[in-house]
Structure 1
Amino acid sequence: MQIIIINGPNLNLLGKREPEVYGHQTFEDYFEQLKTTCSDVELHYFQSNHEGALIDKLHEVGFSYDGIVVNLAGYTHTSVALADAIAAIPAPVVEVHISNIHAREAFRHHTYTGAKCKGIISGLGLKGYEFAVKYLQEL
């Protein structure tokens, strides 16, 4: 089974950016732990700060991977194009947010992309990625 985690803008700064919201761990360090925790699945990782690159990656893997975990960060609340890309592919997608988007600014309460996903995990920190992978394994 192949699952990819696709992270969007500014998530390359995890561990440095707003640690009171996002914690002190880099995603790369967390991903190494996750590969151990979820050793029964082949995990891949992609991050980009560019909307088009994220769309291209969804198109690339959306017809061949068994599942996709996305955290599209700020694009979650603005990108109809990313929502359309998710809707266009057969692979199941689970959206993850490290922080609780409903406990933050009002503009973060709406998710265009989440409406096209199998589910949304929000506010459980990095652990949300593990829950999303486990869910996709059970589908």
Structure 2
Amino acid sequence: MKVLVINGPNINLLGIREKSIYGSESYEDLCNLVAEEASKRNISVTIVQSNIEGELINFIHGAYDSYDGIIINPGAYTHYSYAIYDALKAVMIPTIEVHISNIHARDEFRSKSVTAPAAVGIISGFGLKGYVLALEAMLHIKQK
């Protein structure tokens, strides 16, 4: 199984930004965790990040016919990027949306995800472990 993990804006600043919300672990820590946990589950994983909406869309497009699943943390694009939603719908790859914080317990505008309807499910509020849960969910989806 091949999974593409896409991280959106500001995820590269983990460990620096708002530690009370996102914790003190770095982006490198996140990438290492995902790679290690994917390896344990016999999942081939590619991890990418961009602060640019169009690059995230290009990553999604590039996944077509190359990946079995997508795990995406669209960052703030979650709340207004219909272009990312359209890209996810277009490639028809099972997608899981992940958020490090509980988006429903924060600012009101963060509780609405316009990208979520393109996903099989959402994991929110479990810190970096949410990515591990998403890997497990990918295995579950593949077994169906």
- Whether the TM-score (by the shorter chain) exceeds 0.5 is yes
Paired residues of 1:15 and 1:24 also in contact (CA < 8 A): yes
- C-alpha displacement at 1:44, in angstroms? 0.9
Selected match of 2:83 from 61, 78, 81: 81
Selected match of 1:132 from 128, 131, 134: 134
Structure 1, unaligned runs of 5 or more: none
SS at match of 1:17: coil
Structure 2, unaligned runs of 5 or more: none
SS at match of 1:38: helix
- C-alpha displacement at 1:8, in angstroms? 0.3
CA RMSD between the two structures:
1.0
Aligned to 1:64: 66
TM-score normalised by L of structure 1: 0.96
SS at match of 2:66: coil
Q: Does 1:50 align with 2:55?
A: no
SS at match of 2:4: strand
Aligned to 1:21: 21
Deviation sequence 1:74-121 (CA, Å, 0-9, x none): 000010111000110121000000000000011011101011100000
Aligned to 2:36: 36
Paired residues of 1:63 and 1:90 also in contact (CA < 8 A): no
Q: Look up the equivalent residue of 1:26 and give its one-letter code.
A: S
Identity of aligned residues (%): 46
Aligned to 1:91: 93
Cα distance in structure 1, aligned partners of 2:99 and 2:34:
16
Aligned to 1:116: 118
Q: Look up the equivalent residue of 1:132 and give its one-letter code.
A: A
- Runs of 4+ that moved beyond 4 A: none
Paired residues of 1:4 and 1:68 also in contact (CA < 8 A): yes
